[in-house]
Amino acid sequence: MTLINPNQQPDFLSVVEKQMQLTEAQGMAIRGLVDGIKQMHLDVTEKVEEVQMMVQEVRDSVTLTDAECYQLQDAVRTRSITLTKDRYKETDGKFNETVGKYRRMIWSKLKVLFSVAKYSHIRRIDFDDSIYFVKEFRPEDYI
């Protein structure tokens, strides 16, 4: 059995104290690292949100595609013919004149509704609303 020499005890305590100081220093370093990572995460999250908002702004300002313009034209064409058929027979001399009148009225009211000079400048996010407007258009609401 080995006995501990009383003269060796201070060395043992100093080693333990030194180890405790190192552990505390490591803890502080790790705490600083964790705090830095948390701040980086907050910064990145903020930047991602900024980029998402900017992307949404761009998406919101993009105007109709050619395919959407064609669909809108087709909806106006169909609606103007349907409105005219409700009032005149296709053999009536006023049929084509009335189709044109309704078509112009729909285009005019559509551009006013979406505050654009040309229907092709309607924003893509408003496409569904523009189609709905055309399909539900009633000239009586504007006369």
In percent, the amount of the chain with pLDDT more than 70 equals 93
Taking the domains of the chain in order of start, what are their residue ranges? Answer: 19-61, 66-141
Q: 3-state class of 64 per DSSP?
A: coil
- 58 closest CA partner among 129, 115, 124, 140: 124
Task: Fill in the DSSP letter of residue 63.
Answer: B
| DSSP-derived 3-state class of residue 37 | helix
The band of 33, judged by pLDDT with boundaries at 50, 70 and 90, is very high
Name residue, tokens 């169909």. Answer: 78
| pLDDT level of residue 2 (50, 70, 90 thresholds) | low
Q: How confident is the model at residue 6 (pLDDT cuts 50, 70, 90)?
A: low
